[in-house]
């Protein structure tokens, strides 16, 4: 038997692994362009969150129809890829269906399950294509979804359809060859779905069938490897990043804003409140808030790479619903695009973060971030616990503290809070006058 197919497989597989390694290293470097942040507390809660939200897709089911379609694809992705292990072993060893004699009748049952899931993926992908391109669901037609984002979504769905058809074609031709007693092919106990395709190939010669079966086998395994690489360039990177992203979720109450430790230290010192840092002065603050991605945390950037571009955040955003320019999805896409731009520049020996551009201004405008009501609707809606509000607040903090560029009405509110401890301009001693008035009315 020729070892050329095995050598070809080893070369293809090794090339795919190398490209994936380089790409993963690139993504990891980009994510860690952000500032350090430690989120290793409450490990039990974090494991539970990851299990329910990433594995269990708990938040997806707020919209039942797309959730069910997505669940079918998700389950198929996990289970069908178990067959990839057999593909890899067959490719390396030159065998064919190496698990068939080991599992006996259970192998045929497993193949029928795989085929059912392949059909489920076909149906789901067609439904998603119709939703995007025929029904034109509103959240998929927003301005930030024009061009590559729309093409990327359609490409993935089409690729998945083709890969599932390759599985069914391979099984159909494989079983015809097995029924004819051709060497190396194993007859299984009735593959239900692929048997429906067998009439297409029944009248073909053994040589033609072998060619088609081998082509489908190679097409599927190369397609899987190419898909794994393509995902790292696509919004579908969430297939992998959803798990660490949910594990590192912000577990604090959604209404709690994160203070800057350096500022808190200074305020405590002025008020005579003891701090945990002793007498050591705080480290020099490079910048208040965030202007570019290196001012965000690595968790913020990982959030951006985990974005599914589903648009649930934007469809729930009250500012967006009332016609404002703010789209939480666009905020995440902009952070990711800026990280990609900086990372690519660094790899090419360019200026990187010193290229004269910044996240605020060149990607995200003040009009967008000022429209945010800080309601957390986007955070609550995200199926993988992404936090666009954290980024928006850090950008607004930069505008307020570094540029003094907040709207005039906001400055009045800030001044009132500083002098009167409330957004309204009246003395703190008058704060409970309403209660006195209420009491006097009750006594009448």
Range with lowest mean pLDDT among 114-123, 152-161, 350-359, 411-420? 411-420
Span 320-324, average pLDDT:
96
Distance from C-alpha of 217 to C-alpha of 95, rounded to nearest angstrom: 13
Please, which residues have CB within 8 angstroms of residue 361's CB and are 6 or more apart in sequence? 291
Judged on CB neighbours under 10 Å (0-12, 13-18, 19+), 4 is exposed
**Geometric angle at alpha carbon 308, from 323 and 260, rounded to 5°:** 75
Contact 377, 317 (CB under 8 A): yes
User: How far is residue 299's CA from residue 37's CA, in Å, rounded to a whole number?
Assistant: 7
Tens of pLDDT, residues 30-56:
999 999 999 999 999 999 999 999 999
Gap between the Cα atoms of 40 and 68, Å rounded: 32
Q: Is the pLDDT at 231 greater than 80, yes or no?
A: yes
Question: Is the pLDDT higher at 319 or at 85?
Answer: 319
What's the length of the chain?
444
pLDDT of res. 438: 79
Question: How far is 79 from 30, CA to CA, in rounded Å?
Answer: 31
pLDDT of 156 reads 94
Give the model's pLDDT for residue 184.
Answer: 86
Condensed to tens digits (0 to 9), the pLDDT of residues 212-222 reads 999 999 999 99
Q: What pTM did the predictor assign?
A: 0.89
pLDDT in tens, 349-382: 999 999 999 999 999 999 999 999 999 999 999 9
Task: Locate 215 and state its tokens.
Answer: 């082509």
CA distance linking residue 83 with residue 34, whole number of Å: 38
Instruction: Indicate if the pLDDT at residue 1 is higher than 60.
Output: no
pLDDT of residue 273: 82
Bigger pLDDT: 189 vs 26 = 26
């Amino acid at each position: 038997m020729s070892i050329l197919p095995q050598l070809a497989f080893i070369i293809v597989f090794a090339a795919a692994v190398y490209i994936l390694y380089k790409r993963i290293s690139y993504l990891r470097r980009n994510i860690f362009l952000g500032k350090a942040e430690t989120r290793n507390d409450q490990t039990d809660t974090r494991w539970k969150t990851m299990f329910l939200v990433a594995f269990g897709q708990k938040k997806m089911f707020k919209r039942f129809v797309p959730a069910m379609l997505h669940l079918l694809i998700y389950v198929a992705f996990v289970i069908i890829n178990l067959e990839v292990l057999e593909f890899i072993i067959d490719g390396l060893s030159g065998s064919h269906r190496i698990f068939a004699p080991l599992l006996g009748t259970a192998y045929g049952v497993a193949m029928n399950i795989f085929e059912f899931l392949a059909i489920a993926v076909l149906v789901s992908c067609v439904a998603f294509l119709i939703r995007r391109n025929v029904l034109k669901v509103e959240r998929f037609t927003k301005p930030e979804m024009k061009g590559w984002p729309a093409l990327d979504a359609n490409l993935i769905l089409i690729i998945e359809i083709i890969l599932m058809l390759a599985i069914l074609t391979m099984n159909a031709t494989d079983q015809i060859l097995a029924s004819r007693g051709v060497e190396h092919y194993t007859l299984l106990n009735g593959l239900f779905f692929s048997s429906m395709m067998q009439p297409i190939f029944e009248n073909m010669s053994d040589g033609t069938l072998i060619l088609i079966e081998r082509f489908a086998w190679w097409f599927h395994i190369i397609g899987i490897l190419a898909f794994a690489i393509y995902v790292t360039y696509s919004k579908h990177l969430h297939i992998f990043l959803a798990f660490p992203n949910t594990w590192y979720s912000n577990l604090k109450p959604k209404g709690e804003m994160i203070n800057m430790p350096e500022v808190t230290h200074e305020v405590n010192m002025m008020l005579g409140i003891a701090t945990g840092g002793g007498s050591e002065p705080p480290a020099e603050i490079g910048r208040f808030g965030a202007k570019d991605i290196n001012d965000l945390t690595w968790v913020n950037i990982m959030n951006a790479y985990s974005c599914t571009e589903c648009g649930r955040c934007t469809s729930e955003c009250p500012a967006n619903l009332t016609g404002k320019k703010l789209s939480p999805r666009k905020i995440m896409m902009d952070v990711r695009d800026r990280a990609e731009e900086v990372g690519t520049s660094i790899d090419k020996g360019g200026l990187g973060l010193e290229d004269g551009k910044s996240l605020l201004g060149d990607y995200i405008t003040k009009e967008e971030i000022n429209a945010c009501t800080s309601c957390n609707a986007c955070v609550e809606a995200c199926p993988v616990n992404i936090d666009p509000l954290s980024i928006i607040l850090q950008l607004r903090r930069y505008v307020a503290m570094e540029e003094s560029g907040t709207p005039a009405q906001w400055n009045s509110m800030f001044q009132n809070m500083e002098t009167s401890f409330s957004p309204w301009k009246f003395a703190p001693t008058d704060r409970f006058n309403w209660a006195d008035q209420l009491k006097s009315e009750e006594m009448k």
